[in-house]
Structure 1
């Protein structure tokens, strides 16, 4: 019996006589729209997971003049990330992003807001964003408690997650509470296919180093954790948070309409 050799990805393999040809490569998936707020910002672990799932990232920075699309027909979903600014700031790009969230809400496309992005979602839905009444902040790891709705959506929530914020938001009318906290009661919400997290599942180890170095003055705010606690707590809680994020994003992307999946394969 003779064998044929073929080259696949620069490797020589043997093919048995009569064996079926290799399946064609899958068609590329639609990209995910990524909205960032600083020149050096990255999508961190969220971007890593999305790329691992086969999605390209369409990165936009409206603060620096990048336009936002009029429709999400060409995207699998959209994520607005955090930043040092406030959803209450009068800057044009802040208002533009809040108004733009009406697009994924209207089109019922997957949307995720993280920290500032979640506060923008709350504002779009008519909720209030404000500092803690006693001036407290959450900077470091803090406990969260998933609600029955949150457990129904995703059963394996982490019990501590990473935060970096001094403002919080109230539960908007029509939104569902997925997880709650203490100093800031609203930790995660859902409105249709739109989700908002007050915490930062996107933060990588390198990002934590940068934030706690460049933003070290914030570590002295009331309620903030000292720098060494950030890394000690990460060693305890990060594995659970990382695994939960991957499962969440897989389910989140599955909310894209089937028509979009067919369009990506054309």
Structure 2
């Protein structure tokens, strides 16, 4: 099988548990470090799928790599190769499909419940799950693109995930590992201070309470989504 292209936009926002899942299933992947100046792939031919990670920038920023990345997303979908996006990645997918990315009513930073929309499509991706605690770190939100279906929501953000065929765009971070949580708490300390106090913004200490149990639960739910997503990969 050709590798899955994993696009990294920030050095601390790598594939996390998504990479662990792929390795466990013996699925090849290739990391493309946008943050280190590596170019956006100019063709879809060398890849079986596309994964987009998070990042502190906005889809609306005038960054040179955003237009070619939006084009790559559209070309991957046109080639029937599955695309998955985490936070910024989900926003990029929405934008590529004609959606918009705007300020969310409130910032979400830390752990918070996401609810599964009661629909056959949501159940196809998440089984009998009705709610789970996910990790969040965002101040913007995407609109649901035309033809896509919303499958997750939270109290502070209505659009937490959408599905379009074999493609999955998420606002929440289901890929988290302990190393990532700790790194974000350190690098994002100033943002946390500026956004506090707020009901949807947690302190670094609060984010790390009972972290192993929280991450185990999050990873189990992430794997439901990832398992469904890899079903869309071709055999070549």
State the TM-score, normalized to the length of structure 2: 0.89
Of residues 108-117 and 233-242 in structure 1, the stretch that sits farther from structure 2 once superposed is 233-242
Structure 1 portions without partners, runs of 5+: 1-28
Q: Which residues of 2 match residues 114-193 of structure 1 at below 5 A?
A: 114-133=86-105, 136-147=106-117, 148=119, 149-157=121-129, 159-193=132-166
Higher Rg: 1
Deviations 1:98-141 (A, max 9, x none): 222101210111110100000011111111111124xx210101
**Offset of 1:70 from its aligned partner?**
4.0
Number of the residue aligned with 1:58: 30
Number of the residue aligned with 1:24: none
SS in 2 for 1:34: strand
1:49 and 1:224, CA in 2 relative to 1: closer, same or farther beyond 3 A? Answer: same
Number of the residue aligned with 2:84: 112
SS in 2 for 1:166: strand
Structure 2 portions without partners, runs of 5+: none
**Offset of 1:61 from its aligned partner?**
2.3
Aligned partners of 2:3 and 2:28 also within 8 Å: yes
1:218 and 1:65, CA in 2 relative to 1: closer, same or farther beyond 3 A? Answer: closer
1:152 and 1:39, CA in 2 relative to 1: closer, same or farther beyond 3 A? Answer: closer
State the TM-score, normalized to the length of structure 1: 0.80
Q: What RMSD over aligned residues (CA atoms) do the two structures have, in Å? A: 1.8
**Offset of 1:235 from its aligned partner?**
4.2
Deviations 1:203-234 (A, max 9, x none): 10011111001111122314311222211253
